[in-house]
Amino acid sequence: MRIYPLVFKHVFTKMDPEKAHYFAFDAIKLAQRVGLTKAVRKFFAPDPKLRRTVMGIDFPSPFGLAAGFDKGATGILALSDIGFGHVEIGTVTGQAQPGNELPRLFRLVEDRAVINRMGFNNEGAETVAARVATARQHLKADYTGTRPVIGVNIGKTKLVELEDAIGDYLESTRQLANHADYLVVNVSSPNTPGLRLLQSVESLRPLLREVGELADQVAGRHLPLLVKIAPDLSDEDVADVAKLATELNLDGIIATNTTITRDGLSIDSARVEEIGAGGLSGAPLKRRSLQVLRQLRELVPAQMTLIAVGGVENAADVKASLEAGADLVQGYTAFLYEGPFWARAINKELARSL
């Protein structure tokens, strides 16, 4: 019998969702600090047959944890120990910020979904960079084979005006690029006012070009650079982003972020209206994320990396994304519903299916 679903049903659902998240995450980090996750690392480790090289980086598994779970890079080692092939931390901003007012995280249990309007709450690039650097050193020392990979997701500080956004992204790049395995420019969260306007090709071109140039300079090597886009872009806009990414020789695209639509939900519409604004993630996003993924795969060069995220719940979803053209796959929302054995279960079933 699986224990976590019972804990979720009888304990976590009775707690505020954000407090429950921190409680569960703190428990995983505590297990790492006392050496428990390291002691059972082999039990969680992905099958060697899942290893793959993407963007010139060796990944122990194609399945990783999406940005948003570990915003401050406080649990990279613990999350790596429980089976994630890569952990994308953030979103990190140039300046520290508290995020939006509480409450800002809402469960839609009936739909296996979450609505959040966190607002990039984080301690700022300088503080987070020190943690990423330390975690990377530990991963290099602790793993004799292919180690888990660290991605860093950066966004715009809320108080920074759109016309000054590039400078803000560059500050994060300056602090973090030397410690990341790959870097992601996030222009697609719905929870920072005006941020999605940066997805227009006119705004995105100079942003990606300048971040990419500085990242390579700071890292002293080519640092793979990706952009994360929204599922709410029209097919025409997705095509424009694909064309721009090809023009700039970008390393990859992450598809997709959360959605502002509320289509296909079974939860009572009055409850959805009561929750209000925010990005929807989880199972309802699965169909549109796959659509965007398939469109991108047809439009970008074969060597350009595509990372699929949105509605991933199990190994079948991971496999479907890989077959649709993804090189890597990320999950997040189902982690809240499935618990600490989730990545292991996906890796195990994925290895069996291969």
**247 pLDDT above the threshold of 70:** yes
Contact 282, 105 (CB under 8 A): no
- Where is the binding site for FMN, in residues? 67-71, 91, 153, 186, 228, 256, 282, 311, 332-333
**What pLDDT shows up at residue 80?**
98
Q: Which of 257, 258, 259 is nearest to 229 (CA)?
A: 257
Q: Which of 289, 235, 239, 237 is nearest to 259 (CA)?
A: 289
Question: pLDDT tens, 142-177?
Answer: 998 899 999 999 999 999 999 999 999 999 999 999
Fold observed for domain 4-353: TIM Barrel (3.20.20)
In the numeric block, which tokens belong to residue 305?
Answer: 């990396």
Mean pLDDT of 4-8: 91
Mean pLDDT of 17-36: 97
Question: pLDDT tens, 78-129?
Answer: 999 999 999 999 999 999 999 999 999 999 999 999 999 999 999 999 999 9
Mean pLDDT of 246-274: 96
| Catalytic residue IDs | 189
**343 pLDDT above the threshold of 80:** yes
Backbone phi, psi, residue 348, to 5°: -65, -50
Q: Do β-strands 113-116 and 105-108 pair in parallel, antiparallel, or remain unpaired? A: antiparallel
The pTM assigned to this predicted structure is 0.97
**What pLDDT shows up at residue 1?**
55
Question: pLDDT tens, 135-150?
Answer: 999 999 999 889 999 9
Residues 6+ apart with CB under 8 A from 113: 107, 265, 280, 281, 282, 283, 284, 285, 333
Question: pLDDT tens, 310-337?
Answer: 999 999 999 999 999 999 999 999 999 9
Contact 112, 81 (CB under 8 A): no
3-state secondary structure of 113: strand
3-state secondary structure of 64: strand
Q: Do β-strands 182-186 and 252-255 pair in parallel, antiparallel, or remain unpaired? A: unpaired
What is the CB neighbour count within 10 angstroms for residue 2? 10
What is the CB neighbour count within 10 angstroms for residue 265? 18
In the numeric block, which tokens belong to residue 268?
Answer: 């009572």
Instruction: Give the Cα separation of 223 and 296 in Å (integer).
Output: 22
**354 pLDDT above the threshold of 90:** no
**340 pLDDT above the threshold of 80:** yes
